[in-house]
Amino acid sequence: MHVCVLGAGVVGLTTAWSLARDGHDVTIVEARDGAALEASFANGGQLSYSYVAPLADPAVLPKLPAWLLKRDSALRFIPRFDVGQWRWCAAFLLACRSHRARQTALELLSLGALSKAALHEIVGSEPLVSDSFDYVRNGKLVVYRDAREFERARHKMELLVEAGSDQRALDASQCAALEPALARAQPLLAGGIHTPSEEAGDCQRFTSALADVLQRRNGVTIRYETRVRELVSDGSRIVAARTAGGDIEADAFVVALGLGSVPLLGALGVRLPVYPLTGYSLTIRDADPRNTPGVSVTDLHRKVVYAPLGGRLRIAGMVEIAGLKDAQRAGRIALLKRQAQEIFPAAGDYANAQTWCGHRPATPDSKPLIGRTPYRNLWLNTGHGALGFTLACGSARVIADAIAGREPSIDIAAYAYDR
């Protein structure tokens, strides 16, 4: 079957890999002149399969005033005259109900486990990919500054450990012993939770390497600099993706366009609950190995993540619910630098760090949209929010199973766009 995958971010490329493995003839269509130049470009690099809890959680409700009023809050809500923003926020608040948040966390844990296995399969079978993206199985240390917050986390962890999870709680000195680069920050810390099985890597390099491998070995065609303007339907199915260079026909289409999915599907009468959540990152080149973490670190208080990427240190954080315009770039980058220097003051040259602002294509409940649409041959794999790198390989396997008519190993109905 000829399948057209729309979008060459991490979700589109992993989808293409799974489809090519099934023997399909695959064409990828991408507006930019390379792979992973939008949300997948300089993200936090975390492959954080055990930390997939949704943003929408009962614990966020008391924090809402700070989101609105405090300029240095890690999460900020900046109201706009935008129905899409208000609709998304209303759905987000509904998703904060405890039973829904719990159910979502369990579903995402299953998808995370599947993703880990699927990424390992790619890494095991594609040496050109595994050698190219600074992939490390280095574990993750989530550090807490507030003693009560640490106690709550420790309690949650004990439940997970009883269920078989490999995690342990460390006091501040044990955190610094595990990760010597934290020594100077030790007085700030109440403790941490260490998960040795977590991983990290460079999402953009991973995606680009997949693109190379697919083009060279699997005969996948990638049409860069080709924006899809419209999906042409005959009423029940999609017959072509319309571009300035002509129509691209296929037997099936998979929409993996991140934020670009919303207008294209909207024109077909399918409303996707996806909204941009803006974030920022810094990349320090030639990071000082003695003062740079070897494990991935999350500073939970600041909601900032740190990943060592082959001599570089990637630092990412912040969530702004503010639409695509007016990203508060300069101020937020300066804040991120100050916050990173509190924890890793001597990691490297902060003044010349590469800076990036990206938009997570997020659903209100943090679950991606995977599966069918009202059009028989049009499939969705989009809306991965803050977890696209972590969940891409599993989502790709699920959509490939669905297209092949196989039963996916997770309940795909939980990811329906109109759930």
Ligand X SMILES: Cc1cc2nc3c(=O)[nH]c(=O)nc-3n(C[C@H](O)[C@H](O)[C@H](O)COP(=O)(O)OP(=O)(O)OC[C@H]3O[C@@H](n4cnc5c(N)ncnc54)[C@H](O)[C@@H]3O)c2cc1C
**CB of 41 vs ligand X, minimal distance in Å:** 7
Span 312-341, contacts to ligand X by CB under 6 A? 316
Q: Structure tokens of 285?
A: 């080149």
Distance CA 365, CA 338 (A): 31
Q: Residue 258 interacts with ligand X (CB under 6 A)?
A: yes
**Quick one: which of 3, 16, 29, 101 contacts ligand X (CB under 6 A)?**
29
Q: Residue 260 interacts with ligand X (CB under 6 A)?
A: yes
Distance CA 255, CA 266 (A): 12
**CB of 174 vs ligand X, minimal distance in Å:** 25
Interacting stretch for ligand X, rule CB under 6 A, among 16-24, 122-130, 143-151, 279-287? 279-287
Nearest Cα neighbor of 309 from 46, 125, 35 is 46
Give whichever of 45 and 323 is closer to ligand X, judged by the CB atom: 45
Q: Residues 34, 358, 245, CA angle at the centre, nearest 5°?
A: 35
Residue 285 neighbours by CB distance under 10 Å: 12
Span 90-129, contacts to ligand X by CB under 6 A? none
Interacting stretch for ligand X, rule CB under 6 A, among 33-41, 67-75, 180-188, 329-337? 33-41
8 A C-beta contact, residue 256 and residue 9 = yes
Give whichever of 30 and 299 is closer to ligand X, judged by the CB atom: 30
Give whichever of 13 and 172 is closer to ligand X, judged by the CB atom: 13
Q: Residue 76 interacts with ligand X (CB under 6 A)?
A: no
What's the distance, Cα to Cα, between the start and end of the chain in Å?
A: 28
Give whichever of 138 and 174 is closer to ligand X, judged by the CB atom: 138
**Quick one: which of 9, 112, 191, 323 contacts ligand X (CB under 6 A)?**
9
Q: Residue 45 interacts with ligand X (CB under 6 A)?
A: yes
Q: Residue 273 interacts with ligand X (CB under 6 A)?
A: no
Q: Residue 393 interacts with ligand X (CB under 6 A)?
A: no
Question: What percent of the residues of the chain are helix, what percent strand, and what percent coil, each to the nearest 5?
Answer: 40, 25, 35
Q: Residue 8 interacts with ligand X (CB under 6 A)?
A: yes
Distance CA 143, CA 336 (A): 17
Span 349-388, contacts to ligand X by CB under 6 A? 358, 360-361, 382, 384-388
Q: Residue 281 interacts with ligand X (CB under 6 A)?
A: yes
Q: Residue 256 interacts with ligand X (CB under 6 A)?
A: yes
Q: Residue 293 interacts with ligand X (CB under 6 A)?
A: no
Interacting stretch for ligand X, rule CB under 6 A, among 37-45, 96-104, 143-151, 180-188? 37-45
**CB of 181 vs ligand X, minimal distance in Å:** 19
CA distances from 156 to 48, 143, 264, 304, 309 (A): 17, 15, 41, 21, 30
SS (H, E, C) 130-185: HCCCCCECCCEEEEECCHHHHHHHHHHHHHHHHCCCCCEEECHHHHHHHCHHHHHH
**Quick one: which of 191, 273, 279, 394 contacts ligand X (CB under 6 A)?**
279
Burial 192-225 (b: 16+ CB within 10 A, else e): bbbbeebbbbbbbbbbbbbbebbeeebebebbee
What does DSSP say about strands 312-321 and 304-309: parallel, antiparallel, or unpaired?
Answer: antiparallel
Which strands form 252-255's sheet, in the order they lie side by side? 221-223, 25-29, 2-6, 252-255, 378-382, 369-372
Give whichever of 172 and 358 is closer to ligand X, judged by the CB atom: 358
Q: Residue 7 interacts with ligand X (CB under 6 A)?
A: yes
Give whichever of 15 and 167 is closer to ligand X, judged by the CB atom: 15
Which residues bind to ligand X, rule: CB under 6 A?
A: 6-12, 29-32, 36-40, 43-46, 203, 227-228, 256-258, 260, 264, 279-281, 305, 316, 358, 360-361, 382, 384-390
